[in-house]
Amino acid sequence: MSDFSGTLTTDERIASPGLLTRLAVRPEIGALIGALVVFVFFTVITSQFVTLAGISTWMDTSATIGIVSVAVALLMIGGEFDLSAGVMTASTSLVTAMLSVKLGVNVWLAIVVSLVFALAVGAFNGWLVMRTKLPSFIVTLGTFFALQGINLGVTTLVTGTVQVSGIATAPGYASAGYLFASTFTLGGSPFPISIVWWVVVTALAAWLLVRTRFGNWIFAVGGSAASSRAVGVPVGRSKILLFMTTAGAAWLVGTINILRFTTVQANQGIGLEFEYIIAAVIGGCLLTGGFGSAIGAAIGALIFGMANQGIVYAHWNSDWFKLFLGIMLLAAVLVNNGFRARAERARR
């Protein structure tokens, strides 16, 4: 069985599929079309949208949603949800800020402690979901409220207010800020480094998902946990790792935020969890797991960022953004269900 590639010829029953048919089974194709439509729309009706400053602004908005939504997409493909991811961005900011401002800890160390905290909460989420066999929707809703309570409670207790600021004078701020919150210049215009992080996270996630063994397991545990277990895939471990990945992505955004704004509100981050999930769904993730794309989720986040800023540039009331979101979400779910039906159409 050394070389059999030569003896295998393409089966004549596969009518060479047309370009359109091949594209239609890619999960991210709907999002790509959506992104093009939104881009063209705001380019036409506003003047700032395609200026360098404009692009920088909506790319930044997209990046801070996209970093987490890509991780959430992996988790959703793995068959689970995380409603605590939004609040986690605030929790990690708060941990970093409090350690360096109140205890004088070096910012780098504070960031590492904050990462350990995030990974621990993620592991706890995963462990609890596997242990109780409850839907992750419920378990992480619990974590969502618990973190929200801790964020407010501890912040009030320690600072007497509902915010922590002053990290800019802490030791290690300059070098950490360079890595997480600086800007780079492109065509004479500044772009935040968050965009680079977003691209790196997306590329890593996409590579992991389709090129590695763990990626194969992500699809499998989301598509059918019982079948995966039967062939020896470590289902519990894989899912716990995915919850930790999501928490880790939230930590990255939390770190970017605290270093950039140097202040954090204890009630930040609430509501973002839905934006992450919506971006992942727009990007082609099935709500039922087992199907989706990391690049799709990044494009979903891009649609988000463009619409969010486009509406501002068009001088519309931002309330319309929510309406837009709702419509996009419904349209995406309907399109995704169509794809799934095509992908798993059974011929009994």
Partner 1 sequence: MSALLEVRDVGKTYGSVIALRDVSTVVNAGEVTCVLGDNGAGKSTLIKILAGLHQHDAGQFLVDGEPVQLSSPREALDRGIATVYQDLAVVPLMSVWRNFFLGSEPTKGFGPFRVLDRRKAKDETRWALADMGIDLRDAEQPVGTLSGGERQCVAIARAVHFGAKVLILDEPTAALGVKQAGVVLKYVAQARDRGLGVVLITHNPHHAYPVGNRFLLLKRGRSLGSFDKKDISLEELTRQMAGGAELEALQHELRGAAQ
In the bound state with partner 1, the residue whose beta carbon lies nearer, of 209 and 277, is 209
Q: Which is nearer to partner 1, 219 or 304 (CB)?
A: 219
Which residue from 327, 337, 292 is spatially nearest to 70, judged by alpha carbons? 292
Residue with Cβ nearer partner 1 (133 or 348):
348
Residue 333 CB, nearest approach to partner 1 (Å): 16
Per-residue DSSP letter, 13: T
Closest CA to 87 of 144, 134, 46: 144
* Strand ranges, E, within the chain: 163-165, 183-186, 189-192, 263-265
**Shortest CB 17 distance to partner 1, Å:** 9
Q: 190 forms bridges with which residues in the sheet? A: 185
- Residue 44 or 341 with smaller CB distance to partner 1: 341
| Distance separating the N- and C-terminal Cα atoms of the chain | 33
Q: Shortest distance, CB of residue 130 to partner 1, whole angstroms? A: 15
Beta bridge partners of 264: 164
Instruction: Provide the binding-site residues for partner 1, judged by CB under 8 A.
Output: 1, 4-5, 8, 11, 13-14, 211-213, 215-217, 219-220, 223-224, 226-234, 290-291, 340, 343-348
| 133-153 burial code (b ≥16 CB/10 A, e <16) | eeebeebbbebbeebbeebbe
Instruction: Write down the least CB distance from residue 194 to partner 1, Å.
Output: 24
| Closest approach of partner 1 to the CB of residue 311, in Å | 36
In angstroms, give the least distance from the CB of 212 to partner 1: 6
Give the span between the Cα atoms of 93 and 169, in whole angstroms.
16
- Compare residues 254 and 289 and give the one whose CB is closer to partner 1: 289
- Nearest distance in Å: CB 36, partner 1: 27
Find tokens 């509902």 and name the residue: 162
Q: Is residue 130 within 8 Å of 236, Cβ to Cβ?
A: yes
Segment holding 73, helix H or strand E: helix 52-77
Which residue's CB is nearer to partner 1, number 322 or number 345?
345
Residue placing its CB nearer to partner 1 in the complex, 2 or 317:
2
Phi-psi region of 262 (alpha: psi -120 to 50; beta: other; left: phi over 0): left
